[in-house]
Structure 1
């Protein structure tokens, strides 16, 4: 019996894909692969030593390919090339910004390796937005637009909390990219409004007393229930999953890029004025929720991914041949 769209030249079983890369996107990518009927398993390796251990233990032999969320990571790319495992790189934002510098010829030997990993050694590329796909095309990389949509965008609208509160996100190594100092200034401007920060524990930051650092959380459902506004001010962005999740639940959004049913703000003054307006509203953002539900479908993205995998791996010889032992024969 055929194994579906990714039989990978072997009628005995379908393709088996390891989902690797940026930890907080792995389950999102895996959900899309599952909905595309592509067998996959999350492999969460957060350091070079964990990658080395995974290789030494031979666990890579269980997989025919890797779907890597975050474009071109040199240790993983080089290791998977040596193991002869084909890779699909799924680009999500900042990775494109960094690679654009590399594709201009910079980086010396490391840059040369990155260009090899990204182009002749890659099986395929996916981009989280048309904007990212266009930027990659400028670097000579054709990428299929496959949005990494979380299941949480299928959530229903919730009433706003009795106490208006603001949610923001950044991680400790990207505080400046996410304008953390500006968010702290805004929190000081609204001392009666709680500001909840996800992704950072606040170590080393001077914050007003109305700021609560929640660190890394596996699920934000409770945080959305506690907040009425999501504040996202960034230098470069694809399309934030948290923006979509917040809108789906009827929350308001202050965003540094234009997006339907959000308030755009590019600096402190614009963000302050947007927050003033939104903090007075007591009804959910129903228009924003309807927009997300009508324009963003996990199943549509899964079908796009399914068709891309057909092109990348084929059904009759264009992909790597899998032996009876599960190892590649190229």
Structure 2
């Protein structure tokens, strides 16, 4: 009716419906060609949505891997306009979602729009996102509701698959691949650096056992500790044996100074820092059972592992073999093939219709 006042949400829905109709007529013909014909004409295009694409984020790493495997990628940001999003979706063969909490209408509308025009949605689970669903009923409800739009869930660790299954979400295990260009070769059989590396972001202080870490620092004053990911430079200023760094994009300057990684968290996926440390033959004190690592969850267990670390002089030769057992062969190729299969299945379905 003329003169009716419409809410912003209603106007947004009308806008998206108009854009959807317009996109149906402008979507590239390659999207409904046979897979063989489409592959000759252009590279498959993957659109990332959700996580802020920082240089060392899972989004940036996955996008980099796919580009080396012959994909084109686009990264969505919150500032992305509707018209830019339409352009991204029109070019996309698949969307990959990485998100850790519930999100608002704008992002949900973007995802709905992509699914409506036939772009399959793949969700990547890293660890914190699964924990939030287990502990928070709102996140759990949101994840279950969103799952009806998801073609495939990929989890970074086997135990994440089990945890997702407990809330009714099926997934496949496909671990994260560390960036081997950032791994320094280890030629010396003896440990060079003796400091212990610790990851402790301030906004996740309780998750990474800050109180226990303070006790560890206090008791082991003869050992140097390097804390990374800590946005507060004065966080551990009471300890003379602790150096604090914020977010570090390239750990190449840090790894040579350390011989051990200490990571004791309440919940985890398959941390890249653990894999990178093992690949460089560092010792790892970790709160989850994992090949090549020393298992420790309590202060007493951590202290026992630190005493063991004091006594060793040679590098952790089991580290590289442990990572190979965890990741398996051809991980990056397997990731690319999994996404190609999702795209191919969707293309065949559209082609038959």
TM range (shorter): 0.7 to 0.9
Quote how far apart the aligned CAs of 1:204 are: 6.0
**Greater fraction helix:** 2
In the other structure, the counterpart of 1:275 is 306
Please, which runs of 5 or more residues in structure 1 have no aligned partner?
46-50, 322-329
DSSP-derived class of the 2:81 partner: helix
Listed as ranges, the matches of 1:72-91 within 5 Å are 73-75=102-104, 77-85=107-115, 86-91=120-125
Quote how far apart the aligned CAs of 1:195 are: 0.6
Asked if residue 55 in structure 1 is aligned to residue 89 in structure 2, the reply is no
CA-to-aligned-CA distance 1:67-87 (integer Å, 9 cap, x gap): 123466523751322432543
The 1:250/1:99 distance shift into structure 2, 3 A limit, reads same
Quote how far apart the aligned CAs of 1:186 are: 0.9
Asked if residue 93 in structure 1 is aligned to residue 137 in structure 2, the reply is no
Segment drifting more, 127-136 vs 26-35: 26-35
CA-to-aligned-CA distance 1:155-207 (integer Å, 9 cap, x gap): 53254555510101021210110112211211111212211111113356344
How far apart in 1 are the matches of 2:296 and 2:345?
48
Pairs aligned (count):
305
CA-to-aligned-CA distance 1:119-152 (integer Å, 9 cap, x gap): 1112321110121112222222221211111123
How far apart in 1 are the matches of 2:272 and 2:230?
17
Listed as ranges, the matches of 1:305-324 within 5 Å are 305-314=335-344, 317-318=347-348
Whether the 8 Å CA contact 1:199–1:214 is kept in 2: the answer is yes
Question: Could you say which structure has the greater relative contact order, defined with CA pairs below 8 angstroms and 6 or more residues apart?
Answer: 1
CA-to-aligned-CA distance 1:190-242 (integer Å, 9 cap, x gap): 21221111111335634412111111011112211110110000111222211
Cα RMSD (Å): 3.1
TM-score (norm 1): 0.80
Quote how far apart the aligned CAs of 1:308 are: 2.4
The 1:307/1:161 distance shift into structure 2, 3 A limit, reads closer
Structure showing greater Rg: 2
How far apart in 2 are the matches of 1:316 and 1:177?
39
Quote how far apart the aligned CAs of 1:35 are: 4.5
TM-score (norm 2): 0.76
In the other structure, the counterpart of 1:216 is 247
In the other structure, the counterpart of 1:327 is none
